[in-house]
Structures are given as C-alpha cells and as structure tokens.
Amino acid sequence: EAGVAQSPRYKIIEKRQSVAFWCNPISGHATLYWYQQILGQGPKLLIQFQNNGVVDDSQLPKDRFSAERLKGVDSTLKIQPAKLEDSAVYLCASSLVWGAKNIQYFGAGTRLSVL
C-alpha cells in the first residue's frame, strides 16, 4: 500500500516569496492533516480536513497561509508571503477514521528554508 506522498522534499526561497506544497494521502483516507514542525519541536497541527471540508484551522496563520483539498483527495498548502520564521518541515498526514483511536500516517515532509 502506498504511503502519504509529499512534494517537493526540499524548498529554498527568499522572504516575501510564495511557496506551495502538495500532498497525496493514502487511498481511501477521508481525513487529511497539515502540520508544521520547527527544528527542535514536535509537529503542530495547522489544518485538518474531513473529505474536502475544514474541521480545524485554529492554528493556521490565515493572513499568509492557505490550504485546500479539492475533491477530497489531494491537498495543497500555500504560504504567501513567506517569513523567516516559516522555516520548518511541513508534514502531511492522513487517517482512515476520525476518532480517539485514529491512526495518522505521515508523509516524509517538505523541508522549507526561508532566507
């Protein structure tokens, strides 16, 4: 079974530029998550989708970050404009069910460096 696919693996941009990340979840997984992991910290949830609807985006900096999940499958996360403090690994995860025992499967992440 294929895992969660993310691209690109690495991205280097200058501050104030725009960047987009793509995620393809495991087939059949209705729930999709985007996390930000800053060096030395655990992942922080940015946004959670259930099919193509947003469940939780309370920690998404909406003035610069946006995400969409058209057709309830693939998802893109965009940052515009990027700041130095956005340098982090952006992880996508998906789960089959949504509940207390849900198992999230993570992709390898996109490492973003903002110069």
Q: Give the Cβ contact number of residue 102 at 10 Å.
A: 11
Among 64, 72, 81, 106, binds another protein (CB under 8 A): 106
Residue 27, token pair as written in the block: 């087939």
Interaction with another protein in 73-102: which residues (CB under 8 A)? 91, 93, 98-102
Q: 113: part of which helix (H) or strand (E)?
A: strand 110-114
Q: Are 92 and 106 in contact (CB under 8 A)?
A: yes
Under rule CB under 8 A, residue 44 binds another protein: yes
Among 11, 43, 67, 69, binds another protein (CB under 8 A): 43
Under rule CB under 8 A, residue 56 binds another protein: yes
User: Which residues are at the interface with another protein (CB under 8 A)?
Assistant: 4, 40-45, 48, 55-56, 91, 93, 98-109
